[in-house]
Amino acid sequence: MRERVPLPADVRFHPTALRGHDVFLYRRVADQRRALLAVGVRMAGEEPRFDAAGRAGDWWFGHMAYGYKDRLEALTSRCADGFNWPLTSWFVPRWVFEWNADGVSLHVHAEDRAEGLAFAETLLACPDAMAASRRIAWEPSTSNAEHLRHAAAMLSHIQLGDIYEVNYCIAHEAIDGAFDPFTAFGALLARTDAPFAGFYRMGHRFALCCSPERFIAFDGLHMRSEPMKGTRPRGADAEQDIRLRDELANDPKERSENVMALDVMRNDFSRVSVPGTVRVPELFGVRTHPRVHQLVSVVEAQRAPVFTPFDAVKAAFPPASMTGAPKIRAMQLIDAHEGRARGLYSGTMGFFAPDGTADLNVVIRTLLCDSATGMLSIPTGSALTSKCDPAAEWEECLVKFTSIADVL
C-alpha cells in the first residue's frame, strides 16, 4: 500500500528536474486544480488493472496511440510511426506527486519513500528554466497542393454520402539535435496554460502536449467527455477577439462539425453505460485559451458496473473529434489519404487513480521529439464536412501549428 506524504507548498513542478529519468508522465487537470507527476516504473503492462469494483489497485499512468484502433476494429495502418511509440503502454510509478487544492503530496510505497523525498528536495531547489526563443527549420510533411488534392478526394466521399465528416491531419517536421525538451516544455506550459497538458517520456521518445481537450474523465461510475471541434485565433484587440469568439459560436459549419463529434461520443458512451444515463449538459460552449478560441460540447453518462473504466476508454477510442462520422469508414479514409502515421498524436495520455478518479486527454497541440535522432514533429488537423472550404482548413492547420511553434 502507498502512503500519502504531505510536502511543503512550495514544491512545484519543474520539467528540468526530470533530467536523468527515463520514464515519467506529468498531467495537468486544470478544471480540478489538479496536476500529477509519475516517475519511475514499478510495474508495466499494456492495460491498467482494476479490481472487481472497477477501481485501479494502484496508480496507473500511460497512453494509447492512434494506431491502437487496429486492435479494436478490423482496420489496418498503411504507414509506420516514425517515432515508434508503443500502441499502448501503462505503468505503475515509483513516485506519484500530486498538486491539488489541499496542497502537495507524495504517494509512495515505503521502500521508495527515501528516494521520493530526495526527489521532492530536487523539485524544491530547482530553478525555473524555459527555453530561449530559437528558430527551428520546420517543413510541412504535406504541401498545400497535396492537402487540397486529398481534401477534394475525401469531400467526394462526403458528397456521395459515404461519410459526413472526417478529420484530416498533416504535420510540420524538423531535425534539431540541440532541441531541449525539458526547457521547451517549461516554455510551452507557461505560455499556453493548456488545461490538459502532459509531458511524457519513454526512453528517447518525448511528447510535449499542450492539449486543450479532455477525452474522458472518470469519478467512480460517472464519465464525462468534452469533444472539441471548431477553432478561431484570438483577436489582435478586444473588439476583434469578441467578434471572432461570436463568429465561432454561431458558425453553422463549426456547429455541424461539433455536433457530429458529440453524437459519435454519445454513441460510444451508450455501449458501456447504464441505459438512459447519457446526457448533454453543455452544447456549443466556447472555451478561450491564450492563442485560440475552441468550440466544446459535453457528454456525460453513468458507466455500467460490468465494464471497467478501461473498457469504456476502448469503446470510445480513438477520440471522436479526431476521426469522423461514421467513425470506422472515416478511419479507413484517413489511412488512405494521410501521408504520415499519427503515432501518439490523436491518441490519449493520462492516469487512473486508486480513488476511482481518472483523466485522459486528447493528444493534440503536441510536439513529438526523438532525442536519439533529433526528429521533431508537430501534427495538426481539421475537420472536413460538406460545408467546408479546403483552403480554410489548411489555414486552420497552420493556426494550430503556430500556436505551438511560435511559443518556442
Cβ atoms of 336 and 151 closer than 8 Å: no
How far apart are the C-alpha atoms of 256 and 399, rounded to whole Å?
A: 21
φ, ψ at 91 (rounded to 5°):
-140, 150
Write the single-letter amino acid at 293. H
How far apart are the C-alpha atoms of 218 and 64, rounded to whole Å?
A: 17
Q: At what angle do helices 144-159 and 390-405 cross, to 10 degrees?
A: 130
Cβ atoms of 293 and 245 closer than 8 Å: yes
Supply the Cα-derived Rg of the chain in whole angstroms. 20
> Where in 76-158 does DSSP place strands (E)?
88-92, 95-100, 103-108, 139-140
Cβ atoms of 330 and 269 closer than 8 Å: no
How far apart are the C-alpha atoms of 345 and 322, rounded to whole Å?
A: 9
Which among 298, 302, 321, 327 is positioned nearest to 312, based on CA atoms?
302
Burial profile 26-53: b = 16 or more Cβ within 10 angstroms, e = fewer: bbbbeeeebbbbbbbeeeeeebbebeee
Cell 500529477 -> residue? 36
Q: How many residues does the chain have?
A: 408
Active site residues: 213, 229
* 3-class state of residue 67 by DSSP: helix
* 3-class state of residue 18 by DSSP: helix
9: its cell numbers: 507548498
340: its cell numbers: 504520415
